[in-house]
Amino acid sequence: MPDTTRSAPSLEAHWMPFTANRAFKRAPRLLVSASGMHYTAADGRRILDGTAGLWCVNAGHAREPIVRAIAESAARLDYAPGFQMGHPGSFALAERLAALLPGDLDRVFFTNSGSESVDTALKIALAYFQARGEPRRARFVGRQRGYHGVGFGGISVGGLESNRKAYAAQLLPLIDHLPHTHDLAHNAFSRGQPGWGAELADALDAIVAQRGAETIAAVIVEPVAGSTGVLVPPRGYLERLRALCDRHGILLIFDEVITGFGRLGAPFAAQALGVLPDMISCAKGITNGAVPMGAVAVRRGIHDAIVNGAPAGIELFHGYTYSGHPLATAAGLATLELYRTEGLFERARTLAPVWEEAVHALRGLPHVIDVRNLGLMAALELEPRPGAPGARGFDLFLDCFQHGALVRATGDVIAFSPPLIIEPGQIDELFGLVAEALRRLA
């Protein structure tokens, strides 16, 4: 048996995801434990978590009720097949989620990740129009700078060129993209939703005119684009997209993998922003990041069209070995209970103005060309170093880590999304560390 507990394993064998592997392995950054708002690095330093891990640890790290639920579940029922069999936990979690979800989005399909949730939602959209006798509705509309995970469906509707270019030969064929809504000439230093840009939703009309509404199944967007650098939707934009989808009989999918579970001060962005989609894909915060899990919430009519309209037998030929895994559902139930008992979504809403003030205090520091925020999300955009886009952002990330804060760099955008348990003093500490880093790197 290989000894996986020895303190210094070789770093060679593990090909790391979305990582500069060669540079990382020359100077690794290893986290060895976590509790509450902090990680502990391999050299013993405490690191303030400004990113909730990867936008997922919304209730803070290693929370006892979640840890206990996972341990008990693993000992009681390690695994139960989810095809033609079930276990109570997945039904209980679906019921709890349905109660949190907006409108009649009360049917829930479980996956293991955000990427799987996105691909599942796209497949459900196709199955729905098949069931309705509209099989020509097969096109999808995504958005530039959208991130929908890394499945072939997700990278096809996604709009990040770096994630697509190596695979361009095999992307899904029937896809169009809306323009993104980020334009520093109009919306730099916006607090909350920018006032400019609602009309960018009208690009959907142009796509409809070109393709024909009868060929379009669904539009998929992140209500707030997260991974591409916190792009906050202009006021009225999502409402306009909703109205256009209604007019043309197109489904609207919100990818809430980041915005779900309290990030904007409500269970989902749909509620925080008052726009009801037809499906919501989610993951991450569903288990507080403690066990991989995702879900797709579907309006009841979509579910019923597919399930009740099918002949006897399996209605949807889709699912994963680990859909609704007992460990994940136990973690999910404990997580939702923690969000409820600690009022963490309300807490995020209450803290949002404090958060906004603190992040906007970075305006005016060296190389800062934008600050933007919504709920407990924010981003700082830095002027790219000439000839080296992304280098300044990465240096800031490294410097912050050296000095005790975890932030996330995507190119020259630094994103912040702390656990919702963050204290006002820790907000000041986080942005204080960032300010010092900006001055050091000036």
Strand 251-255 vs strand 216-221: parallel, antiparallel, or unpaired? parallel
- Residues in contact with ligand PLP by CB under 6 A are 113-115, 118, 147-149, 222, 226-227, 255, 257-258, 283
Three-class SS state of 352: helix
- In the complex with ligand PLP, the residue whose CB is nearer, 37 or 257, is 257
The H or E element containing residue 279 is strand 279-282
- In the complex with ligand PLP, the residue whose CB is nearer, 190 or 410, is 410
Contact (CB, 8 A) for 432 and 440? no
- In the complex with ligand PLP, the residue whose CB is nearer, 260 or 399, is 260
DSSP-assigned states of every residue in 320-338: -TTTT-HHHHHHHHHHHHH
What is the closest distance, in whole angstroms, from the C-beta atom of residue 378 to ligand PLP in the complex? Answer: 16
What is the closest distance, in whole angstroms, from the C-beta atom of residue 320 to ligand PLP in the complex? Answer: 12
What is the closest distance, in whole angstroms, from the C-beta atom of residue 86 to ligand PLP in the complex? Answer: 24
- In the complex with ligand PLP, the residue whose CB is nearer, 198 or 224, is 224
Q: Which residues lie across from 49 on neighbouring strands?
A: 406
What is the closest distance, in whole angstroms, from the C-beta atom of residue 56 to ligand PLP in the complex? Answer: 8
- In the complex with ligand PLP, the residue whose CB is nearer, 118 or 358, is 118
What is the closest distance, in whole angstroms, from the C-beta atom of residue 121 to ligand PLP in the complex? Answer: 10
For tokens 């969000």, the residue is 339
- In the complex with ligand PLP, the residue whose CB is nearer, 56 or 380, is 56
Residue nearest to ligand PLP (CB): 114
For residues 182 and 35, what is the distance between their CA atoms, to the nearest angstrom? 35
Burial of 205 (0-12, 13-18, 19+ CB in 10 A): middle
Contact (CB, 8 A) for 306 and 128? yes
For tokens 């209500």, the residue is 223
- In the complex with ligand PLP, the residue whose CB is nearer, 157 or 348, is 157
What is the closest distance, in whole angstroms, from the C-beta atom of residue 222 to ligand PLP in the complex? Answer: 5
The sign of the dihedral angle between the CA atoms of 193, 197, 198, 204 is negative
Contact (CB, 8 A) for 376 and 348? yes
Three-class SS state of 318: coil
- In the complex with ligand PLP, the residue whose CB is nearer, 147 or 268, is 147
What is the closest distance, in whole angstroms, from the C-beta atom of residue 166 to ligand PLP in the complex? Answer: 18
Number of neighbouring beta carbons within 10 Å of residue 147: 25
What is the closest distance, in whole angstroms, from the C-beta atom of residue 351 to ligand PLP in the complex? Answer: 22
Contact (CB, 8 A) for 114 and 257? yes
What is the closest distance, in whole angstroms, from the C-beta atom of residue 360 to ligand PLP in the complex? Answer: 24
What is the closest distance, in whole angstroms, from the C-beta atom of residue 152 to ligand PLP in the complex? Answer: 13
What is the C-alpha R_g of the chain?
Answer: 22
- In the complex with ligand PLP, the residue whose CB is nearer, 335 or 426, is 335
For residues 167 and 260, what is the distance between their CA atoms, to the nearest angstrom? 29
**Alpha helical stretches, state H, 293-364:** 300-307, 326-341, 344-360
- In the complex with ligand PLP, the residue whose CB is nearer, 102 or 229, is 229
What is the closest distance, in whole angstroms, from the C-beta atom of residue 133 to ligand PLP in the complex? Answer: 31
Q: Which of 393, 390, 391, 398 is nearest to 24 (CA)?
A: 398
Contact (CB, 8 A) for 127 and 304? no
- In the complex with ligand PLP, the residue whose CB is nearer, 146 or 438, is 146
Q: Which residues lie across from 216 on neighbouring strands?
A: 139
How far is it between the farthest Cα atoms of the chain? 67
Contact (CB, 8 A) for 57 and 283? no
For residues 108 and 276, what is the distance between their CA atoms, to the nearest angstrom? 16
